[in-house]
Amino acid sequence: MDPCPFVRLSVCNLALKVPVASKPAHSVVHPSSSPCYCKIKLKNFPLQTAVVPCILSESQFPDGQVQSHAASFHLNKCDLEKLVAKSVFGGGKLYLKISIYTGRRGSTCGVNSGRLLGKVDVPLDLAGTESRSVLFHNGWIVIGKEAKNSSAQFHLSVKAEPDPRFVFQFDGEPECSPQVFQIQGTIRQPVFTCKFSFRTTGDRNQRSRSLPLEHSGSRNWLSSFGSERERPGKERKGWSITVHDLSGSPVAAASMVTPFVASPGSDRVSRSNPGSWLILRPGDGTWKPWGRLEAWRERGSADSLGYRFELIPDSAAARIVLAESTLSCSKGGKFVIDLGTSVSTNGRLTPGNSTSPACSPRGSGDFGYGLWPYCMYRGFVMSASVEGEGGGSSKCSKPTVEVSVQHVNCTEDAAAYVALSAAIDLSIDACRLFSQKLRKELCPSQDLLS
């Protein structure tokens, strides 16, 4: 099947050029003491914020300056049709609206702490952008008062480019061993089946009949990457889910390798002692680790799920963090790997956004830009919807997974992302407070009988 059309609208290369005054004045921003940021708004999409670096008025940006990704809006076919129809038939143009502030982000008693410097409206014409790239703006714009020596200039680049994706949807809860469909418009085509199972302590070398590729002579990935920590107290362990293609062959798996254990004196999984999953792919007659997902429950009023996903290279000790963020335990949200634009800093790769660290090796050694084989992971990689706890026992999670076409070269590629999405969805249940009961599908039979 063909992928679904998507468009990525990107805002990049932000900078603020301000006049430098000999004496402090309220009308002038001083780069050395005034942090700046902006709010970026596209109609009907959530507001995004980004830091705006200040540069001296004599600097010629972007020459010699770091160019970075600030914000992205991901538009599916339905979004595009609505936005294009609004601009064509709604009697007005579509604009990307940007407000620039000086001061620190946040609010006190409901009042924004930043001071508005100016606003910028960039006109957009998104017709046809699902098949061609369009640069809407790249350069400087005068903002604020245009009085002599008091006006500031704001630099930005705004572009839209095709970003086709494969879309998959589970036909039920991952723990209920559902089918997985590929979605293309109104067409739903089955492509995978999932098998959820439990791995007990005695199954360390032969974990489950759902993992037939592993044999007694293979490396014990459980002991290499996780722990069967036999502890007294509250814990959830031994979950695994295997993804099969339509012929019945296993093409990916997610296995809980570190139990989700309640911290001493509490009923929650803490950040200091997270549970973890291995995402596995078949190779050479056995399973090979592809990635590792850690999850825990954050403290505080937000009560969110914290997670970290990292790639596991074949021949290096260092791991590569691709995503590290949080999502609401009660409402759910989206697990996203979106690397934006990576830049080289002191020989290491750093991301263009703060929520998804890019190819930054963890461990010994320093890997330069372009030398690290996994730096092919750029831009949007994947997203997966995650159902929260809010629905209680009656909620039904059917994760929807979007994967960029550039990151899928074979069936196993797509299956690995499906397995990862199942693991993050199951982590919501694994990180439930231990005072709460789990669904019967997540409890071994001996637990049900006790």
Is the same domain home to 155 and 181? Answer: no
Is the same domain home to 289 and 256? Answer: yes
Is the same domain home to 155 and 179? Answer: no
For 191, the domain range is 165-200+235-344+376-442
Task: From 71, 67, 132, 49, select the one nearest 340 (Cα to Cα).
Answer: 71
Q: Residue 206: inside a domain, yes or no?
A: no
Q: Residue 364: inside a domain, yes or no?
A: no
Residue tagged 């914000």 (tokens): 71
8 Å CB contact between 257 and 226: yes
8 Å CB contact between 389 and 400: no
Q: Residue 60: inside a domain, yes or no?
A: yes
Q: Residue 13: inside a domain, yes or no?
A: yes
Give per-residue pLDDT as tens, 244-301: 999 999 999 999 999 999 999 889 999 999 999 999 999 888 999 999 999 999 987 7
Give per-residue pLDDT as tens, 295-346: 999 987 778 999 999 998 875 557 789 999 999 999 999 999 998 743 322 2
Q: What is the CATH classification number for the domain harbouring 87? A: 2.60.40.150
Is the same domain home to 287 and 393? Answer: yes
CA dihedral 324, 326, 329, 331 (to 10 degrees): -120
Q: Residue 121: inside a domain, yes or no?
A: yes
8 Å CB contact between 319 and 372: no
Is the same domain home to 320 and 420? Answer: yes
User: pLDDT-derived band of residue 77, with 50, 70 and 90 as boundaries?
Assistant: very high
Is the same domain home to 398 and 283? Answer: yes
Beta strands in 215-303 (DSSP E): 235-236, 239-245, 250-258, 260-261, 275-283, 286-297
The pLDDT of residue 450 is above 50:
no
Q: What DSSP letter does each residue of 63-90 carry, written as one string? A: TTS---EEEEEEEEHHHHHHHHHHHHHS
Show which of 145, 162, 179 is a domain's final residue. 162
Task: From 287, 285, 324, 286, select the one nearest 306 (Cα to Cα).
Answer: 324
Is the same domain home to 279 and 263? Answer: yes
Is the same domain home to 134 and 15? Answer: yes
User: pLDDT-derived band of residue 208, with 50, 70 and 90 as boundaries?
Assistant: very low
List beta partners, residue 39: 49, 99
Is the same domain home to 152 and 191? Answer: no
Is the same domain home to 170 and 133? Answer: no
Query: What is the maximum alpha-carbon separation in the chain?
Result: 81
Show which of 135, 162, 189 is a domain's final residue. 162
Show which of 113, 134, 162 is a domain's final residue. 162
209 vs 235 pLDDT, higher one: 235
CA 145 vs CA 27, 32, 68, 117, 391: distances in Å = 9, 21, 27, 9, 51
60-68 contacts, C-beta under 8 A, 24 or more apart: 61/13, 61/15, 61/17, 61/155, 62/13, 62/15, 62/155, 65/15, 66/343, 67/12, 67/13, 67/341, 67/343, 68/12, 68/13, 68/14, 68/340, 68/341, 68/343, 68/352
Is the same domain home to 245 and 155? Answer: no
8 Å CB contact between 421 and 401: yes
Task: From 425, 430, 432, select the one nearest 178 (Cα to Cα).
Answer: 425
Number of folded domains that form the chain: 2
Instruction: Determine if the peptide bond prior to 62 is cis (ω within 30°).
Output: yes
Give per-residue pLDDT as tens, 151-201: 789 999 999 999 999 999 999 999 999 999 999 988 999 999 999 999 764
Cα 101–chain centre separation: 27
Is the same domain home to 241 and 381? Answer: yes
Q: Residue 96: inside a domain, yes or no?
A: yes
The length of the chain is: 450
- Upper half-sphere CA count for residue 29 (Cβ side, 13 Å): 30
